[in-house]
Amino acid sequence: MTSLVLRPLCFNSLHKKGLLMTSMFFLLSTGAWMSAALVLRSKNPVHSVFYLVLTFLHASGLLVLLGLEFFALLLLLVYIGALAIMFLFVVMLLDIPATELMAHQRGAYPVAGLLFVTLVISLVGLLWQPVETSPLVTPLWPVVQGGPLGLEFPETSWQTAAMSHSALAQLGVALYGVHVDLLLLASLLLLVAMIGAVALTLTRRVHAPLHDVFAQQSVDYQKVVSLVQQSTQAKTFT
């Protein structure tokens, strides 16, 4: 087991804490699986949304075990606080009958086989970890491990940042400083989604006045002024 390339996954604290954290991990992941299965199996979509909230709760517990408290809170706030409530609004707004299980599964067996093959390949790649002689060892691994190809860990700004800042400050530097293009792309994506959602569900009234922006902008102001003068003259004459 010493020739495994993967580091022990960040569970240095878990090794010290021992059996409690291990059992917490298994408990939370089993709970996530069970609630995910209940998302699939429950007939009522409202129950499905509630089981999805339960899945997110278990996942945020897993993130706390990983040591990522910020992302656990973000999962709670964003997913459960916003997305699940949005799902609940739509599910309760629309009158969706409780549908029959196993209703529409015909013709999906090739997809099922593809998924099964993917699962098997992933399981094999997961449990049979790559060793140094394996072709699965990409150039990423020796750099990360700092070992077998003689490559030292690169002296990037990440390392000094990791030494001097907390993980959240480091994430802030990465988000707002280094990868600010990703931040701009994300904001653009959110803008497109917001405008798209509004434009999709917007319905006009039938006899609503149509605002022709081009006609409004291209009004000749001199004619307008002359028209107003004529009307005032007409008023004064009468």
Partner 1 sequence: MSVFFFKGVALFTPLVLFVMGAMGTFLNRRNLIIMLLCIELMLLAANLVFLTASVALDDINGQLLALWVMTAAAAETALGLALCVLHYRLRATLDVELINLMKGSQQNHAS
For the segment 204-233, give every residue that binds partner 1 (CB under 8 A): none
Length of the chain: 238
Site for partner 1 in 145-204 (CB under 8 A): 158, 161-162, 167, 170-171, 174-175, 179, 182, 186, 189-190, 192-194, 196-197, 200-201
Residue type, 3: S
The number of residues that bind partner 1 (CB under 8 A) is 86
Site for partner 1 in 52-91 (CB under 8 A): 52, 55-56, 59, 62-63, 66-68, 71, 74-75, 78-79, 82-83, 86-87, 90-91
Interaction between residue 32 and partner 1 (CB under 8 A):
yes
Interaction between residue 11 and partner 1 (CB under 8 A):
yes
Site for partner 1 in 12-31 (CB under 8 A): 14-15, 18-19, 22, 25, 29
Q: Which CB atom, from 91 or from 137, has the smaller least distance to partner 1? A: 91
CB of 237 to partner 1, least distance (A): 56
